[in-house]
Structure 1
Amino acid sequence: MKYTLGIDEVGRGCLAGPVYMASVLLDNSYPRYCDHLQKDNYLEHRELVYIRDSKKLSLVRRNAVLNMVTEKQIYHQIIHVSNSLIDKYGMGICLSYIILILISLCQNSNESQIIIDGQITLIREPNKNILSTILKENNIKSIKIIDIDTVNILRENKADDNYLSVAIASSVAKVIRDNLMNELHLNYPEFGWNQNKGYGTVKNREAIKKHLDNQYLRQSYLDNIRASLKAGHQAIKILLF
Structure 2
Amino acid sequence: MTTEPAIKTRRPRAVRTGPDLSLEREAGPGAVVCGVDEVGRGPLAGPVMAAAVVLPPDGLPPAIAARIHDSKALTARAREELVPEIEAHALAFCVAEASVQEIDAINILKATMLAMRRAVDGLAVAPTLALVDGNRAPDLPCAVRTVVKGDAKSLSIAAASIIAKVARDRVMVDLHALHPDFGWDRNAGYPTAEHLAALKRLGPTAHHRTSFGPVREELRLRR
- Report the TM range for the smaller structure's normalisation: 0.7 to 0.9
- Alignment partner for residue 120 of structure 1, among 131, 136, 144? 136
Give how far 1:204 is off. Answer: 0.3
TM-score normalised to the size of structure 2?
Answer: 0.78
TM-score normalised to the size of structure 1?
Answer: 0.72
User: In the alignment, what sits opposite 2:119?
Assistant: 102
User: In the alignment, what sits opposite 1:5?
Assistant: 34
**Relative contact order higher in (CA < 8 Å, ≥ 6 apart):** 1
Structure 1 unmatched runs, 5+: 32-43, 125-145, 234-241
Question: Quick one: distance in 2 between partners of 1:108 and 1:85?
Answer: 26
Question: Quick one: distance in 2 between partners of 1:77 and 1:9?
Answer: 12
User: In the alignment, what sits opposite 1:190?
Assistant: 181
Give how far 1:48 is off. Answer: 1.5
Instruction: Give the secondary structure class of the aligned counterpart of 2:111.
Output: helix
Q: How many equivalent residue pairs? A: 192
User: In the alignment, what sits opposite 2:195?
Assistant: 204
Write 1 or 2 for the structure with the bigger share of helix: 1
Alignment of 1:215-234 (within 5 A): 215-223=206-214, 226=217
Q: Identity rate of aligned residues, in percent?
A: 28
Alignment of 1:6-155 (within 5 A): 6-30=35-59, 45-72=62-89, 74-106=91-123, 107-110=125-128, 113-123=129-139, 146=141, 151-155=142-146
Question: Quick one: distance in 2 between partners of 1:23 and 1:185?
Answer: 26
Answer yes or no: is the 8 Å Cα contact 2:204–2:215 preserved in 1: no
- With 115-124 and 212-221 compared, the bigger mean Cα shift is at 115-124
Question: Quick one: distance in 2 between partners of 1:6 and 1:207?
Answer: 37
- CA RMSD for the aligned pairs? 2.4
Instruction: Give the secondary structure class of the aligned counterpart of 1:108.
Output: coil
Structure 2 unmatched runs, 5+: 1-27
Answer yes or no: is the 8 Å Cα contact 2:38–2:116 preserved in 1: no
Question: Quick one: distance in 2 between partners of 1:11 and 1:99?
Answer: 12
Answer yes or no: is the 8 Å Cα contact 1:209–1:225 preserved in 2: no
